[in-house]
Amino acid sequence: MIDLTLEDLVSELMDCGWRPIHDQSHKNIKKFWQLHQPDNYDASCIKILAHEDVVEKFDWAKIGELADKYKRDPKWIENGFEACRASSVSPDYFVQRYLEGNKDIPKNPLVEQAYLDLTREARA
């Protein structure tokens, strides 16, 4: 893996059609680059996550997976997750009760109300 240099960045920008109009020597870009580079940043700072880790860490990925698995609308699942968050309940409640259909888990009135509030806000 190679480190991205200022020259690489400028080259990539120019390949995309960007042209420096008033800064032919790229002084402003160099200054910006230097100000925004974290100390000791190199390729070892970049972490590639496994698919399972992405799904576990990011709700947007988990929602997509669940929508595919259960053939449901991702927006519906997203609203369910949001209702759980607003009620301080784990999104696992929504998955188990509504996606997996486990009716042994009692309805949570806080989540139910939060979901209704979300749908009303979306309509307004």
- Residues 114 and 76 grouped into a single domain: yes
Residue 103: pLDDT over 80: yes
- Residues 65 and 115 grouped into a single domain: yes
Evaluate whether residue 79 is within a structural domain. yes
Structural domains in the chain (count):
2
Cβ-count burial 72-90 (b if 16+ within 10 Å, e if not) = eeeebbbbbbbbbeebeee
112-to-8, 89, 95, 100 alpha-carbon distances in Å: 52, 11, 14, 17
* pTM for this predicted structure: 0.63
Q: What is the mean pLDDT of residues 20-47?
A: 70
- Residues 66 and 35 grouped into a single domain: no
- Residues 73 and 106 grouped into a single domain: yes
Instruction: Enter the DSSP assignment of 105.
Output: S
Q: Which residue segment(s) compose the domain that 110 sits in?
A: 51-123
- Residues 38 and 70 grouped into a single domain: no
Quick one: pLDDT at residue 46? 77
- Residues 31 and 80 grouped into a single domain: no
Evaluate whether residue 1 is within a structural domain. no
Q: What is the mean pLDDT of residues 37-54?
A: 80
Quick one: pLDDT at residue 38? 66
- Residues 113 and 74 grouped into a single domain: yes
- Residues 87 and 72 grouped into a single domain: yes
- Residues 15 and 59 grouped into a single domain: no
Evaluate whether residue 67 is within a structural domain. yes
- Residues 104 and 67 grouped into a single domain: yes
